Amino acid sequence: MRSAPVTIKDIARALNISISTVSRALRGMPEIHADTRAAVMRLAEELDYQPNQLAKNLLKSRTRTIGVIVPNLSYYYFSAMLNSIEEAAMQAGYSVLVCQSNESYLREATHIQNLLRSQVEGFIISLSRDTDNCEHVERLVRKGVPVVLFDRYSDTIAADKVIVNNHDAAFNATMHLLNNGCQRLAVLAGPPQLLISNERLAGYRAALASAGIAENKAYVLHCDFTPERTRLQTTALMKLPEPPDGLLTISDRIAFTALFALKERGVRVPDDLLVVSFNNEPLCDFLSPSLSSVSQPIQEMGMETVRLLLRQIEATDTDTYVPETKVMGTELVIRESSQKR
């Protein structure tokens, strides 16, 4: 049998005392008589009383809750970031409401709206693939709602950011491929509206330029994180009259599918083609050949996003606030896929 939840009113009535006494007893206020407190506690325990968080939050106008919006939790990077964000938030006494945009602008905007209505005190966001207009987030910032972006950020948003130097990371990864003998270097980038993809692309180009290699436009293809598209683009690359002998992919998701497509076509990695990727998912180790990949300090990034957000939330004067961008270091983890044997 289901019944309405127990309230302090129920306890008060049963004990024939006032609700304020119950409230005080429950919260261990010192002025309450020991006997009264004991009786209240006993009954609360017996009835399995659970304080109504809604009522508390409404009264205090504080929820100590932060909204997190990520593209998709089945990407390792985001679920790992969520873990570290949750941990840091919990330590600080905040809880987390997680939403997935599923790479859709519309869902992202809807989630922001809903989280706002649920009175979250701030947002940690990594933008969706299809978000080319950031008006929805900019409005948040304009309203003074604390926002921190990570990874998938945008230039136009005046919020705190926790990112890596995508340009330099891609530059280094590309140089690594060049140094290992690649002559024809291709790249599987993300969708063109994704800033981090473009930054990585720029790093790739800078590396080519620094090595005095002219860019071959046919070697630069865009993917959208769907296996179908990646497969198509990989095949397109290898069908070129001069197929590449080196490949940079801007995400492990893309690399996994690409490696699969390559194997199907009989392209041997690293013998025929060297590969370097981004994100350093745990699986990189398990693949054969194992996959070289750029790692981000997920643990630190999660802590940093929370730190920046709480700084905003707990700031007394919000007028003098200047958004900060924290650039974290990356590491190129070199494995079998990027070294000739």
Please provide residue 123's backbone torsions phi and psi, each rounded to the nearest 5 degrees: -125, 140
| DSSP 8-class letter at 218 | G
Torsion of CA 92, 98, 101, 107, to 10 degrees: -110
Q: Which is nearer to its own copies, 8 or 287 (CB)?
A: 287
Applying CB under 7 A, does 9 fall inside the site for DNA?
yes
Identify what 161 binds: its own copies, DNA, none; CB under 5 to 8 Å per kind: none
Residue of 1, 2, 28, 30 that binds DNA (CB under 7 A) = 30
Q: Least distance in Å: CB of 135 to DNA?
A: 23
Applying CB under 8 A, does 322 fall inside the site for its own copies?
no
- What sections of 33-123 are H helices per DSSP? 34-47, 53-60, 76-91, 105-117
Environment class of residue 9 by beta-carbon count within 10 Å: exposed (0-12), middle (13-18) or buried (19+)? exposed
In the stretch 280-299, what mask flags binding to its own copies with x, by CB under 8 A? ---x-xxxx-----------
CB hemisphere CA count around 161 (13 angstroms): 17
Applying CB under 8 A, does 91 fall inside the site for its own copies?
no
Applying CB under 8 A, does 182 fall inside the site for its own copies?
no
Residue 244 contacts residue 185 (beta carbons within 8 Å): yes
Residue 72 contacts residue 102 (beta carbons within 8 Å): yes
**Binding positions for its own copies, 129-148, rule CB under 8 A:** 139, 143-145
Q: Which residues contact 171 (CB under 8 A, 6 or more apart)?
A: 203, 204, 206, 207, 210
Residue of 21, 84, 100, 233 that binds its own copies (CB under 8 A) = 100
Measured distance CA(142)–CA(138) in Å, rounded? 6
Q: Least distance in Å: CB of 318 to its own copies?
A: 5
Q: Which residues contact 131 (CB under 8 A, 6 or more apart)?
A: 101, 105, 108, 154, 193
Residue of 114, 133, 156, 183 that binds its own copies (CB under 8 A) = 114
Cβ atoms within 10 Å, residue 86: 18
Identify what 33 binds: its own copies, DNA, none; CB under 5 to 8 Å per kind: DNA
Q: Which is nearer to its own copies, 3 or 16 (CB)?
A: 3
Applying CB under 8 A, does 119 fall inside the site for its own copies?
yes
**Binding positions for DNA, 60-99, rule CB under 7 A:** 60-61
Question: Residue holding tokens 């002998």?
Answer: 245
Applying CB under 8 A, does 79 fall inside the site for its own copies?
yes
Q: Least distance in Å: CB of 118 to DNA?
A: 12
Measured distance CA(212)–CA(217) in Å, rounded? 15
Q: Which is nearer to its own copies, 67 or 203 (CB)?
A: 67
In the stretch 241-280, what mask flags binding to its own copies with x, by CB under 8 A? ---------------xx-xx--x-----------------
Applying CB under 8 A, does 117 fall inside the site for its own copies?
yes
Q: Which residues bind DNA (CB under 7 A)?
A: 4-5, 7-9, 16-21, 23-24, 26-27, 30-33, 35-37, 50-52, 55-56, 58-61
